[in-house]
Structure 1
Amino acid sequence: MNPNRRTALRSLAGAALAPAIIRSAQKATAFGLIGDRYHNSDYIRTGLNRTIARDLGVSIDFTDETRALNEETLHGYKMLIVLRDGMIWPDGYPDETTNAAWVNTGKPELVSDPPVLPGKPKPAFWMKPHQGKAVRKFVEDGGVALFMHNTTHVGLTDPDFRHVLGAAYAGHPPIRTYKARVTNPNHPVTRGVRDFIVTDEQHYMEYDKDRKYIFLETVNEKGLTYQNLGATAPGGWSYDYGKGRVCYLSPGHLLRVLWNPEYIKMQHNAVRWLLRQGS
Structure 2
Amino acid sequence: MVKIVALLGDYWHDRDDAKTGLEAALSRLPYKEEIDLQYVTYEEFSQVLDGKPDLFINAKMAQLNPMDEQVITWLTEDLDNKLVNYIKEGGSILAWHAGMAGYSSESNYIKMLGGYFVYHPLGLQNVTYILKGNEKSEDNTFSLSDEHYFVHCDAANTEVDLWSNGVDGDSISGWKHSYGNGKICCFTPGHTREGMLNKKISSLLAEKINWLLNKSL
Q: What TM-score results when the alignment is normalised by the length of structure 1? A: 0.68
Alignment of 1:149-188 (within 5 A): 149-156=97-104, 159-174=107-122, 175-183=124-132
Unaligned runs of 5+ in 2: none
In 1, Cα distance between the equivalents of 2:64 and 2:69?
10
Cα shift at 1:80 = 0.4
More strand by share: 2
Q: Deviations over 1:229-250 (max 9, x none)?
A: xx01110000111111111111
In 2, Cα distance between the equivalents of 1:76 and 1:60?
13
Partner of 1:100: none
Unaligned runs of 5+ in 1: 4-27, 95-119, 186-192, 226-230
Cα shift at 1:123 = 2.7
In 1, Cα distance between the equivalents of 2:102 and 2:54?
21
Please state if 1:32 is matched with 2:6.
yes
In 2, Cα distance between the equivalents of 1:178 and 1:207?
19
In 1, Cα distance between the equivalents of 2:44 and 2:188?
24
Tell me the secondary structure at the aligned position of residue 155 of structure 1. coil
Cα shift at 1:158 = 5.6
Please state if 1:84 is matched with 2:84.
no
Cα shift at 1:155 = 3.4
The number of residues matched between the two structures is 207
Alpha carbons of 1:200 and 1:147: their partners in 2 closer, same or farther (altered >3 Å)?
same
Q: What TM-score results when the alignment is normalised by the length of structure 2? A: 0.86
Q: Deviations over 1:80-117 (max 9, x none)?
A: 0011111012xxx86xxxxxxxxxxxxxxxxxxxxxxx
Alignment of 1:211-250 (within 5 A): 213-220=159-166, 224-225=167-168, 231-250=169-188
Partner letter of residue 55 of structure 2? Answer: M
Alpha carbons of 1:218 and 1:62: their partners in 2 closer, same or farther (altered >3 Å)?
same
* Structure 1 runs (4+) greater than 6 angstroms displaced: none
Larger radius of gyration: 1
Indicate which of 40, 45, 60 corresponds to 1:69. 45
Alignment of 1:52-131 (within 5 A): 52=26, 54-56=27-29, 57=32, 58-63=35-40, 65-70=41-46, 72-74=47-49, 75-89=51-65, 122-131=70-79
For the Cα contact (< 8 Å) 2:128–2:144, is it kept in 1?
yes
Q: Deviations over 1:166-217 (max 9, x none)?
A: 11221100211110111269xxxxxxx7322111111112213426511111
Please state if 1:259 is matched with 2:207.
no
Alpha carbons of 1:179 and 1:212: their partners in 2 closer, same or farther (altered >3 Å)?
same
Please state if 1:49 is matched with 2:23.
yes
Greater RCO between the two (CA within 8 Å, min separation 6)? 2
What is the root-mean-square deviation in Å for CA atoms of aligned residues? Answer: 2.2
In 2, Cα distance between the equivalents of 1:179 and 1:137?
36
Q: Deviations over 1:49-77 (max 9, x none)?
A: 1211x3321332113x222222x321231
Tell me the secondary structure at the aligned position of residue 124 of structure 1. coil
Give the stretch that moved more between structures: 207-216 or 128-137. Answer: 207-216
Tell me the secondary structure at the aligned position of residue 101 of structure 2. helix
For the Cα contact (< 8 Å) 1:165–1:246, is it kept in 2?
yes
Alpha carbons of 1:35 and 1:218: their partners in 2 closer, same or farther (altered >3 Å)?
same
Partner of 1:11: none
- Percent identical: 18
